[in-house]
Amino acid sequence: MINRVLFYNSGGGIGDAIQILPLIDTVKTVFKSANFFYLCSHKNHFNSTLKDLNCRIDSLDFGIKYFGFRWWHALIIKNNIKKHNIKTFDLIIDLQSKIRNSLILKIIPHKHFISSCLNFKLSKPSLNIKKQKKINNTILNAINYILKTNYQLNEYDINKIDKKFFVESEKLLPKNNYVGLSITQGNVYRKKEWPLNNIVELCNKLIQNNKTPVFFIEKNNHELINKIKNMVPSALFPEYETNFSSSALVTCLGKRLDYVVSIDNGVMHMLSLSKVPMIVLFGPTDSGKFAPDYKNSIVLDSKKLHNTKNVSSITVEEVLNAAKQHLNY
């Protein structure tokens, strides 16, 4: 009987959280009567940035910043377990693959422990299964192996979002022939942005084809917004024209678009929940791991196309060709 479940995620980005949404939703559906907790190294986005997606989950807080990234965290956890009388978890799901983090996490009392570290040798019981490219599939396979079940992964149900966001998205984008563009990165340590001159050239081609460019840029990025407005006067900035500030609005706006051209970032993952057709440009990050996993998602990976991690090597022509071949160009 599974009554208490703990998820652990060491990734700090919004995209990292969105990617595991289907898994969390599936596990919640499977173990309907269980209590669920979320332990993270950074921030519980489900209860903050992503709260309007209505997938909230209680936090387990040991009062440690960057949980699992320091060996001395093990001592704090041991003390907290005794001090707060933390009960045994029936299932702990480790969503990362750092050995140190997994060993520290394993100190928390549990009956079953799922971790892909060392080919599942840290799991309890030890598992003889193959690691998949997508973490959701890896973990669900492990659950099925342990419990001798055959659960299938749920897709996120966009109807969980409040109708007010759908209404607002229709007000902001009331017509047709919109193409979304998400061009800014949250992680400053890896260069994932496509050159602005490429984006402007792409917009001009789209406009010639009777498409309206729609940019997804944070409201406070005034300098970039004004620069693009001067270079592409017909471009739209829906988030700049509303009092709403929510990931749910971004997802709903995705339903108003013909398709999206995006780099690997959090907005791309928000839009992917709408299953909008999408071209995603990858440079230094792993497209196999982070690309949206649905039919109309097209990946242009500079490592595969040009044998370089430099996303700038992807040309405007390559993006347009992908749109012409696979999407409503």
**Domain chopping of the chain, boundaries:** 4-156, 159-326
Cα of 56 vs its chain's centroid, Å? 15
Q: What is the pLDDT of residue 283?
A: 96
pLDDT confidence tier of residue 180, bands split at 50, 70 and 90? very high
Report whether pLDDT(186) > 80: no
Interatomic CA distance for residues 275 and 296, integer angstroms: 8
Backbone angles phi, psi at 219, to 5 degrees: -55, -35
pLDDT higher than threshold 70 for residue 70: yes
pLDDT higher at 86 or 116: 116
Quick: pLDDT tens for 285-314: 999 989 998 889 999 999 999 999 999 999
Q: Which two tokens stand for residue 221?
A: 């990025």
Position 18 pLDDT exceeds 80: yes
- Name the 3-class secondary structure at 45: helix
Q: Where are the alpha helices (DSSP H) in 69-174?
A: 73-83, 99-105, 135-147, 163-172
Predicted confidence (pLDDT) at residue 157 exceeds the cutoff of 80: yes
Q: What is the DSSP letter of 35?
A: E
* pLDDT average, residue stretch 147-171: 95
pLDDT of amino acid 212: 98
pLDDT band at 67 (very low <50, low <70, confident <90, very high): confident
For residue 65, the model assigns a pLDDT of: 81
**What pLDDT does 26 receive?**
95
What is the rounded average pLDDT of the residues 251-266?
Answer: 97
Q: Determine the Cα–Cα distance for residues 288 and 306; give it in Å rounded to an integer.
A: 16
Q: Output the DSSP codes for 193-212.
A: PPPHHHHHHHHHHHHHTT-E
How many other C-beta atoms can be found within 10 angstroms of the C-beta atom of residue 129? 15
Span 4-156: which CATH code? 3.40.50.2000
* pLDDT for residue 171 is more than 90: yes
The residue with tokens 């990858």 is 282
Residues 3 and 30: their CA atoms lie apart, in Å, by 11
**d(C-alpha 138, C-alpha 151), whole Å:** 12
Give pLDDT, residue 84.
Answer: 66
Residue 85 scores a pLDDT above 80 = no
Q: Can you give the C-alpha Rg of the chain in angstroms? A: 21
* Average pLDDT value over all residues in the chain: 92
- The mean per-residue pLDDT over the stretch 33-49 comes to 91
pLDDT score at 261: 98
pLDDT exceeds cutoff 90 at 237:
yes
In this prediction, residues 56-79 reach a mean pLDDT of 85
Region of poorest pLDDT, from 58-67, 169-178, 263-272: 58-67
pLDDT at residue 189 in the model: 61
**Quick one: average pLDDT of 168-197?**
90
Q: Do domains 4-156 and 159-326 have the same CATH topology?
A: yes
Which amino acid is located at 284 in the chain? Answer: P
Residue 293: predicted pLDDT: 86
Q: How far apart are CA 250 and CA 272, in angstroms?
A: 10
CB 46 within 8 A of CB 38: yes
The confidence band for 150, taking pLDDT boundaries of 50, 70 and 90, is very high
Type of residue found at 180: G
Q: Give domain 159-326's CATH superfamily.
A: Glycogen Phosphorylase B; (3.40.50.2000)
* pLDDT tens string 241-252: 999 999 999 999
